[in-house]
Chain A
Amino acid sequence: MAKHRGRGIASINYPIGMNLGGDPSQALVHSNPSGKFTVSLSSIDLGQGMKSVTRQICAETLGVPVEDVYVDTADSDTGPHCMGSFASRGTHRVGNAVMAAAKEARGVMMEAAAEELEVNAADLETDGRGNIHVKGAPHRSISTKDVAIAAQFKQGKTISGRGIFLVPLSEVNPETGEMSPATCYAHACLVAEVEVDDETGEVAMVRMDSAYELGRALNPRLVEQQLVGGAWMGISHALFETPEPYYPDPAHGPRDFVEYLMPGPGDICPHDIAVLERPAADGPFGAKGPGEMCANPVLPAVANAIFNAVGVRMDELPITPEKVLRAIKAQGGARPQARR
Chain B
Amino acid sequence: MLELRKDIFADERDDNLKEIGKGTQRQDMLGHVTGTSTYFDDHKLQGMLHLKVLRSPHAHARLRRIDTMEAERSPGVRRIIRGADVPRNLNTLLSLINFGKDDEPSLAVDKVRYKGEPIVAIVADSPREAFEAMAKLRVDYEPLPAVFDVEEALKPSAPVVNETYPKNTFVYHDVYDHQKLRFGDVERGFAEADHVLEQRYQMSPIEHAPTETNGSIAAPDTNGRYVVYTSTQALFFSLDTCAKILDVPSNTFHFIGGTVGGGFGGKVDTLTEPLAILGAMLTGRPVRYQLGREEEMQFGSPRGAERIYIKDGVMRDGRIVARKIRAYFDSGAYTRLSSYAVVKCVAHLPGPYTIPNVHGDVYCVFTNRTPATAMRGFGVTAMDFALECQMDKLAHLVGIDPMEFRILNAYRDGDMKAHRREAKNTALIECVQVAAEKAKWPLREEMKRMSSRKDGGGSRAAISPTPLEPVPQRAAVSQQRTTYDRAPAAIVQPPPPAPTPPPSPRPQAPSHGATRFSSVFGTRRR
Q: Which A residues lie at the B interface, using CB under 8 A?
A: 7-15, 19-20, 22, 24, 42-47, 49, 51-52, 55-57, 59-60, 63, 65-66, 70-71, 73-77, 79, 81-87, 128, 169, 171-172, 174-182, 184-185, 187-191, 209-213, 216-224, 227-228, 230, 233, 237, 241-245, 247-250, 253-257, 260, 262, 271-281, 285-286, 291-293, 295-297, 299-301, 303-304, 307, 313, 315-318, 340
Check A255–B294 contact: CB distance below 8 A: yes
Known contacts A70-B27, A275-B5: does B234 contact A169 (CB below 8 Å)? no
B306 shortest CB reach to chain A, Å: 9
**Closest Cβ of chain A: how far from B54's Cβ, in Å?**
17
In the assembled complex, the CB of B23 is this many whole angstroms from the nearest CB of chain A, namely 4
Contact A218 B207 (CB under 8 A): no
Asked whether B27 lies within 8 Å of A296 as measured between CB atoms, the reply is no
Contact A278–B206 (Cβ < 8 Å): no
- What's the least CB distance linking B448 to chain A, in Å? 14
Chain B residues engaging chain A, CB cutoff 8 angstroms: 1-6, 8-9, 12-13, 17-28, 32, 59, 97, 115, 148-150, 172-173, 175-176, 179-183, 199-207, 209, 232-237, 239, 253-265, 268, 293-294, 297-298, 302, 305, 330, 340, 343-344, 346-348, 351-352, 360, 367, 369-370, 374, 376-382, 384-389, 391-393, 402-403, 406, 410-411, 418-421, 424-428, 430-436, 438-439, 441, 452, 466, 468-469, 471, 517-518, 520-521, 525-526
- A63 and B258 CA atoms in complex are apart in Å by 26
Residue of A nearest to B153 (CB): A248
**Min CB–CB distance A93 → chain B (angstroms):** 12
* Complex Cα–Cα for A128 and B360 (A): 51
Query: Is B263 touching A211 in the complex (CB atoms < 8 A)?
Result: no
Shortest beta-carbon contacts, A-B, top 3: A84-B234, A74-B258, A300-B388
Neighbouring A residues of B521 by C-beta, 8 Å: 22, 169
**Contact assessment for B431 and A340 in the assembled complex, using a CB-CB cutoff below 8 Å:** no
Which residue of B8, B209, B379 is within 8 Å of A262 (Cβ)? B209
Q: Is the Cβ of A317 less than 8 Å from the Cβ of B351?
A: no
Apart from the given pairs A222-B23, A274-B434, A299-B381, 5 other A-B contacts in the complex at a CB distance below 8 Å: A10-B388, A22-B97, A128-B18, A250-B59, A274-B3
Contact between chains at B435 and A14 (CB < 8 Å):
no
A222→B387 CA distance, assembly (Å): 29
B27 touches A51 (CB 8 A): yes
Given A9-B406, A223-B2, A316-B204, decide whether A307 and B392 contact each other with a Cβ distance below 8 A. yes
Give the one of A191, A224, A272 with max B CB within 10 A: A191
B residues near A237, Cβ cutoff 8 Å: 206, 381
- With a cutoff of 8 Å between Cβ atoms, the chain A residues found around residue B32 in the complex are 47
Q: How far is the CB of B329 from chain A (nearest CB, A)?
A: 13
| B residues less than 8 Å from A179 (CB atoms) | 343, 347, 419-421
> Are A51 and B26 touching (Cβ within 8 A)?
yes
Task: Tell me the complex Cα distance, A188–B374, Å.
Answer: 21
Contact between chains at A216 and B402 (CB < 8 Å): no
Alpha-carbon distance A7/B402, docked complex (angstroms): 11
Q: How far is the CB of B133 from chain A (nearest CB, A)?
A: 22
A86 and B305 contact, CB distance less than 8 A: no
Asked whether, in the complex, the Cβ of A313 is within 8 Å of the Cβ of B18, the reply is no
Q: Is the CB of B182 within 8 A of A175?
A: yes
Give, as a whole number of angstroms, the nearest-CB distance from B470 to chain A. 10
**A47 contacts which chain B residues (CB < 8 A)?**
32, 260-262
Nearest CB of chain B from residue A316's CB, rounded to whole Å: 4
Residues of A within 8 A of B441 (CB): 7, 9, 191, 340
Known: A12-B351, A219-B22, A313-B393. A213 touches B2 (CB 8 A): no
**Are A275 and B2 interface neighbours, CB within 8 A?**
yes
A13 contacts B428, C-beta separation under 8 Å: yes
Residue pair A224, B1 in contact (C-beta under 8 Å): yes
Determine whether the beta carbon of A172 is less than 8 Å from that of B525. Answer: yes
Q: From residue B131, how far is it (CB to closest CB) to chain A in Å?
A: 16
